[in-house]
Amino acid sequence: MVNFYGKEFPSRLLIGSALYPSPAIMQAAIRSSGANIVTVSVRREAAGGKRGDAFWKLIRELDVTVLPNTAGCRTVREAVTTAKLARELFGTTWIKLEVIADNDTLQPDVVGLIEAANILIKDGFEVFPYCTEDLSVAMRLVDAGCKVVMPWAAPIGSARGIINRDALRLMRDRLPDITLVVDAGLGAPSHAAQALELGFDAVLLNTAIAKAVDPVAMAKAFRLGIDAGRAAFEAGLMEARDFASPSTPVVGTPFWHAVS
């Protein structure tokens, strides 16, 4: 079970609701993933009119917990305003907080992110901040009151997998009591497994599933990868070594020779 602000969920996969070829495929992929939490863009739904109402109906049919996000926001004011709109639209204090600094990489504005997180937490929100793998940023978010931190593996939609494994490992070691979710940049089930093997509590995915040739099958593949990664972490992975270590030692072992 994974814990988010005092609520426990069996699935360690959070899944996005954008970019799918059709609403029916979106529903089928989410079901196939086994995810209990689905992220929804507040900007898209607020501007969707009747289309937005139809989308919200599809999400309700899935019987999942909605995590609204501030995707597309580029200023603190914009992100805070969008979060407040999300609270009204979805009736939740949960918000996936995004403040974007760069249009090409979609890298988070970490200064603005921390400022927005402080404002929202004081206003009663439970914040899921999307950040880089920088430990100092994560620690400042925790100091602000975040009980969940969501560092990227790589830029959004890049499918590169974990590009700074050591930084993520350090974050896990230094923040043992914080729920950590790898968010963005994962492109294959093996990438998700690696995140769980590092001890991260969950991953958030969208593009890698929605843009697959078969999103439904890919959602299942990611679910299995996450299960395998978590099982490996709990079992205790052996440490990497610089030299070979024979599985059948020969030093000091007697050899028996047949006598003709």
Q: pTM of the entire structure?
A: 0.89
Q: How far is it, in rounded angstroms, from Cα 158 to Cα 168?
A: 18
Q: Are 148 and 4 in contact (CB under 8 A)?
A: yes
Residue 96 is among the residues annotated as catalytic for this protein? yes
- 17, containing H or E segment: none
Per 3-state DSSP, the chain is made up of helix, strand and coil in percentages (nearest 5) of 40, 15, 40
Under 8 Å between Cβ of 149 and 142: yes
pLDDT for 49: 55
pLDDT, residue 230, reads 98
pLDDT tens for 215-247 read: 999 999 999 999 999 999 999 988 887 777 777
**45-96 tens-digit pLDDT:** 555 555 667 887 888 889 899 999 999 999 999 999 999 999 998 999 999 9
Q: Pick the catalytic residue: 57, 96, 147, 211?
A: 96
Paired tokens of 86: 């999300």
